[in-house]
Structure 1
Amino acid sequence: MNTNHPQRPRRNFYGRVKGKSLKQSQKTYLDEDLATLSPGAVDWDSNPERRPLDLEGLFGGRPVWLEVGFGGGEHLVHQAESNPDIGIIGAEPYINGVAMLLGKIRRAGVSNLAVHPGDARDLFDVLPDQSISRAFLLYPDPWPKKRHHRRRFVTPEHLEPLARVLKPGAIFRVATDIPDYVRQTLEEVPKAGLEWLAERPSDWRAPWDDWISTRYEQKALREGRVPHYLTFRRAG
């Protein structure tokens, strides 16, 4: 993707895009599989006019879910396997995570996934209004220092376009083990027009029925941090 396209908005991105050296098998996944699985309309070179993504052509009319920052892809592939009647898009700028996901897709043999290897904000640019039935934000980068809280996903820069692409009644799930991230989520997400669906402590203490624990959650548990599972619904 050309990050210097003349029409591309200036957006700071603070997270990692590459980590340790990729294995040869992971390089093969990127070379052989990524182009086929990527929704091309997100790329600024192929779509400088920012035409809306053709979700009908991408998923054949199936409802579409979105996972922002899929890490190593465990949850994304789990949902794709469990819901073959759903199309799922994953957005992740960390290329090592993308390579890990591609390997999992090969092994699982799922065909209802699309992968955007970049900033979710670029994907929001081309997703049609009210096109997403469910969205996930699972163990996002916590940016623990107070001066970095504006970098978190749960800010208007990300939540407003997310709300725009969610269908009325769509569900937005957030999982985090950082108490201050919970605080900011509960403050900011309702401002974007999403209602927190919690009536009792078990509604945020217990994982969802279709949850699969990710490596990030396992690390949090080993280190004594408590996961929170927050569920929101887009207003009609």
Structure 2
Amino acid sequence: MPTDDRDYYSPEDFGDTYYENEHYGPRTPDSDSGPYNTETDCSECDRPITASDDLCADCERELEEANAHPDAYAPVFDELAIGYEPTVDDIAFAVVPACSRYEAIIKATHAFHDRETIPDLPTGFDGRTFFLIHEAPESDIRPFTVGRGALPDAVPVASEDGLRLLNKARRRTDWLDNPLEDRPAAPWFYLNDEAGAPVTTASDFVDLLDGYHVPDSPEEYTPPEYGSAEPELWIVPGFAYTITPIVTS
């Protein structure tokens, strides 16, 4: 048998290669011709379409509808709330019966939470609209001590500090039994009872004091660190604030 020492072979050396070229030739999607460049995918739904198109017939029809009626295809939500910002309105006071400082703070928390003067809340907000003095850092409290003096977190009304705070809150309250011309358009009530109802009239104020045990003299009140066997009236200050949503378009 003759020896074949050639280094090069041409297609003719293997006979007819048409079949191989037809079925096993290179499949290049970027080729300018051939059966593999006749289809592509719709840019919206990935359905197969001809290479000369960008959208399938269904997506083309939806696009025409959207262009013809833009309002009907507008986003449902033009704005999205991503957070909430509290703005302090002022110091308010809960006046509650309690036998100890701890009990007074607990009852004041419920009074502030259930208060009738709570501001309108933005949709989706499920947090608090207040915090008590004992929860606040000194830097937040300091601006509100001007004209009030020290702000204890909870103190019996009959104590020296309690009477001072009660009287200041009483003088600042916009009483509803004042003449109409003396009332502001948006009255502010500084005192809330155990149920969170604002003390809005002078008679309410008297009833509040008469309904609980208040010693006649500051010397007779029970020191907060000891507590008392019978409930006494305590005053608990807190920040009341309005909630504003932070919105992005």
TM range (shorter): under 0.3
TM-score (ref. length: structure 1): 0.21
Bigger relative contact order, structure 1 or 2 (CA pairs below 8 A, ≥6 apart): 2
Greater Rg by CA: 2
TM-score (ref. length: structure 2): 0.20
- Structure with more helix by fraction: 1
